[in-house]
Amino acid sequence: MRICVYCASSSMVDRKYFEATETLAKSFVREKIEVVYGGGAKGLMGQLADTILENGGKIKGVIPRFMDEIEWGHKRVKDFEYTETMHERKAKLLEGVDAVVALPGGSGTLEELLEVITLKRLGLFTRPIIILNTDGYYDPLEQMLDRCIEENFMHPRHRDIWNFVREPEEILQTIQSAIEWAENAIGFAVR
């Protein structure tokens, strides 16, 4: 199995987010899951890569050249793919993955997450999207997505696009039990 993980590069975040990332990374290694991520060395990205590498797991970084030039790239990750743009990076992160997991993050993580939700809404990406809602971090996003449905900007069936979980230990089981999504999802009508 190959999983794309979206996560933050900020090192200033609360320790609980680092702990959740470490727990998740160890579970991926135990289950022999290959991880694809944004290639960073700091913050939750660094924690994810460090934990996977220290425990003998497999991880691939995807990073734009301009970010690597300012030394944002993780030096110990051996499997790297370099892109010219952020748009190309996002597309490469999704190639051949079996699921996407979003950890808490800032504007970059939110942008990646909302794009993959949109791609799934259109049937262009059909794999599970799991959002790790550590300590309620993503509660406002969950409320906003619910409001999109309540206000008829999205169909109730679109709730099946994503799954929110509270603990990293729930992620793999949630991926396994995620509702199948079809390429014809673009046809799901809004009320």
**Cβ-defined contacts of 141-144 (< 8 Å, 24+):** 141/110
- Segments of the chain scoring below 50 in pLDDT: 191
The DSSP code for 126 is -
Give the pLDDT confidence score for residue 93 in this predicted structure.
97
- In the chain, the domains with their CATH numbers are 2-175 (3.40.50.450)
Strands (DSSP E) found in the chain: 2-6, 34-37, 59-64, 79-83, 99-102, 129-132, 162-165
**CA 190 centroid distance within chain:** 26
Q: Which two tokens stand for residue 111?
A: 């942008």
With 0-12 / 13-18 / 19 or more C-beta atoms within 10 angstroms meaning exposed / middle / buried, residue 10 is: middle
